[in-house]
Amino acid sequence: MTETGTARFGPLWVDGVRVAETELTSLAAVIHRGLRGLPSGSVVQLPAEPPVGLVARTVVGELDLVHVLGEDTLAYAGMDAAALIDADGVVHRRAPGLRPRRLPGTARLAATSGSTGHPEAVAHGREAITFQASALQERLRFEAGEVMLLPLQTAHAYGASVVELWSRYGVGLMLEHTSPLRTFIPRLVEHKPSSVDLVPSMLAMLLSAARRDDAVAAGIDRLRLLNVGGDVLPPSLVEAARAVCDQRLLDGYGLTEAGPNVAVNCPEFYREGTVGRPLPGVRVRIDDGQIMVSSPSVLLGYVRDGNVVPQTDADGWLATGDLGSVDDQGYLKVVGRRKEVIIVHGRTFAPIAVEDALRAVPGVDDAGVVAVREEHATRDRVHAFVRAESNGTDADELRRRCVEALPSGLGPVRLRFVDELPLLPSGKLDRNALREVVRACT
């Protein structure tokens, strides 16, 4: 473990190569010198490349500055950086321009995924980041010597929350940066980490590999924590995991605006089909089907044209835009996005439920569903995109199976077979891209 300032960096591997402790301390010192003297609240753009980007966010916090995650976040915020740190750790001061460069009271700017529209720049305070790390550590209980495998982008909220455990609690971090989709499965098998964090699309890849290779299945079973987040976990993946390994899928729920984590399953508090209980200190209620969150880690607001625009109500509750329910034991279940609900003749269908019905069809590898209001139409038309398994299944037969699997009452569905489904950088299904495909074909 490396300690510098308030940080307690754990062991770090980037693309399988161990980063020396001396390199981490040297980078921290170089970045600290370069940023010294900047006014409190100055915005600092970090590089995406590790280890510099990982070390820099801690140093920026120690100096009461604002670190920016994601290259486009400043554009969404309508701001400029007062300084930029390059991939070598060199700090470049920026000359003042027309746009604001300071955001007092803020510690981090991060962009939403844009899964439901235009991305927003989200501002969080220092206390929010500290609370998130503490609550997550209390729930997951990492110990000295454990190593987390992370094949997710650290510029997104989910990956960033894992990095905080590395920088604050000395937990080892094995980061797959260059080609995570290609390398995370071999790394899991060969290096035997304690945990892995995945989005559902990556989990599907892992389970597919486990069906073909016993060594991958054994690697999964060795994990203490198999964490899944970033999107709704399809029940079909839970069934697929049960068929190839003895590992529980520790589904969780969060969103950038909430800091990000709201609820997380863990070995001690686990209920299949839910995203777990809210983290300690987080409150959840359901308002007309919508998940509402109150937490010390909710956003200060969206940053637009350099101004923080609050997004919580007068009592501090955040409307998430997600649909869900809470059972009598306090476990939260997430159905999907409120904006994504498909309404046909007064009946509502969650896209994830339709997609899961298609994934259950033999010969189907994955599916994505959107509803689009076509020109001159009186209601939305449902479009299903299906990626077939490469096992030579007859296309007409597969189409027949898919049509039969669709829920009754959904109405006519336009079915398309595709080679790949579009994904956002966060790993979520890019439904906006699917809608653009539909509009381009009408």
pLDDT, one tens digit per residue, over 414-429 is 889 999 999 887 777 8
Q: How high is the pLDDT of residue 57?
A: 95
3-state DSSP assignment of residue 34: helix
Q: How high is the pLDDT of residue 374?
A: 63
Pairing of strands 290-294, 318-326: antiparallel
Q: How high is the pLDDT of residue 241?
A: 94
Highest mean pLDDT among 158-172, 231-245, 394-408: 158-172
pLDDT, one tens digit per residue, over 330-355 is 999 998 777 777 777 667 777 888 88
Distance, CA of 388 to CA of 334 (rounded, Å): 27
- Does residue 40 surpass a pLDDT of 60? yes
Q: At what angle do helices 214-222 and 200-212 cross, to 10 degrees?
A: 130
Q: What proportion of the chain, given as a percentage, has pLDDT over 90?
A: 67
Q: Are 407 and 361 in contact (CB under 8 A)?
A: no
Q: What proportion of the chain, given as a percentage, has pLDDT over 70?
A: 95
3-state DSSP assignment of residue 188: helix
DSSP structure string for 255-267: -GGGSSEEEE--S
Quick one: CATH architecture of 341-440? 2-Layer Sandwich (3.30)
Alpha helices in 345-385 (DSSP H): 351-359
- Does residue 256 surpass a pLDDT of 90? yes
Distance, CA of 408 to CA of 385 (rounded, Å): 18
* Residues 113-133, mean pLDDT to the nearest whole number: 88
**Exposure string for 63-96, b = 16+ CB within 10 A, e = fewer:** bebbbbbbeebbebbebbbbbbbeeebebeeeee
* Residues 252-279, mean pLDDT to the nearest whole number: 97
Q: How high is the pLDDT of residue 116?
A: 57
- Domain 9-335: assigned CATH number: 3.40.50.12780
Q: How high is the pLDDT of residue 5?
A: 56
- Does residue 216 surpass a pLDDT of 60? yes
Rounded to 5 degrees, what angle do the CA atoms 153, 103, 33 make? Answer: 70
Q: Which range among 88-97, 141-150, 308-317, 422-431 shows the weakest confidence by mean pLDDT?
A: 422-431
Q: Where are the domains of the chain?
A: 9-335, 341-440
Q: How high is the pLDDT of residue 117?
A: 61
Q: At what angle do helices 126-140 and 157-169 cross, to 10 degrees?
A: 80
- Does residue 120 surpass a pLDDT of 80? yes
Backbone angles phi, psi at 304, to 5 degrees: -130, 125
Q: How high is the pLDDT of residue 431?
A: 86
Q: How high is the pLDDT of residue 54?
A: 96
Q: How high is the pLDDT of residue 412?
A: 76
Q: Are 424 and 114 in contact (CB under 8 A)?
A: yes
Q: Are 213 and 245 in contact (CB under 8 A)?
A: no
pLDDT, one tens digit per residue, over 169-214 is 999 999 999 999 999 999 999 999 999 999 988 998 999 999 999 9
Neighbours of 202 (CB within 10 A): 21
Q: How high is the pLDDT of residue 411?
A: 73
The first and second tokens of residue 406, run together, are 């669709």
Distance, CA of 157 to CA of 171 (rounded, Å): 18
Q: Which range among 91-95, 225-229, 247-251, 358-362 shows the weakest confidence by mean pLDDT?
A: 358-362
- Does residue 391 surpass a pLDDT of 80? no
- Does residue 1 surpass a pLDDT of 60? no
Q: Are 11 and 34 in contact (CB under 8 A)?
A: no
3-state DSSP assignment of residue 186: helix
Its pTM stands at: 0.84
The mean pLDDT value of the chain amounts to: 91
* Residues 153-179, mean pLDDT to the nearest whole number: 95
3-state DSSP assignment of residue 214: helix
Distance, CA of 180 to CA of 150 (rounded, Å): 9
Q: 335 versus 284: which is more confidently predicted?
A: 284
